[in-house]
A and B are shown apart, each in its own frame.
Chain A
């Protein structure tokens, strides 16, 4: 079964440190999404790539967050410097654009705790 792989699964870091989360989308999927999930806000879209190009990152705090896709098999989400309010579960999802009736596939997430 093809799946989206995220690393690390858990990350505990101190405020001010840089955090990098990685995602390997399903082979053949050309859209990648980064979501953040918290109890208070639910699922929030942070960034969205199509064919490796960033299409929308309006949900992301630009001063500290950055998202990239250096190649088709790797997406990264970076936080620098991290803050306690960034503590959340970060999910990556991939899908096929142009096939609007193809479901999104989610990874198991990175649980980030910033102390």
Chain B
């Protein structure tokens, strides 16, 4: 069974600092790795999807890397802003799990102005 872990559970940084969020997974046979953002009282919004054949994916200030062999993905957010404050979840879409995503518990980020 795929287990997805996110460390740390919470992170507080001053505005302008770069953010590094970690995600690890136990089963490397994945189709893709997805990063989501969740604001309080809202659903999840897809940020980036890295295919299993890719090493990284970029969108604006966001960059996500994937190392399948070590079972790790990292989300980088450059020059953080207060609007980046949210919970970030990663999810692995695994071959053995037939189109079901296994989610981590999330990292709650606070960017202080």
B40-78 interface code vs A (CB 8 A; 1 in, 0 out): 011111100101000000000000000000000000000
Known: A97-B99, A103-B34. A108 touches B46 (CB 8 A): no
Which residues of B, 75-113, contact A by the 8 Å Cβ criterion? 89, 93, 98-101, 103-106
Chain B residues near A101: list those with CB within 8 A.
31-32, 49, 51
Which residues of chain B from 5 to 39 have a CB within 8 Å of any chain A CB? 31-32, 34, 36
- What is B's interface to A at a CB cutoff of 8 Å? 31-32, 34, 36, 41-46, 49, 51, 89, 93, 98-101, 103-106
The chain A residues found within 8 Å of chain B, CB to CB, are: 4, 31, 33, 42-43, 45, 48, 50, 55-56, 91, 93, 95, 97, 100-109, 111
Enumerate the 7 nearest inter-chain pairs by beta-carbon distance, A residue then B residue, closest first: A106-B43, A103-B46, A106-B44, A43-B103, A100-B31, A42-B105, A108-B43
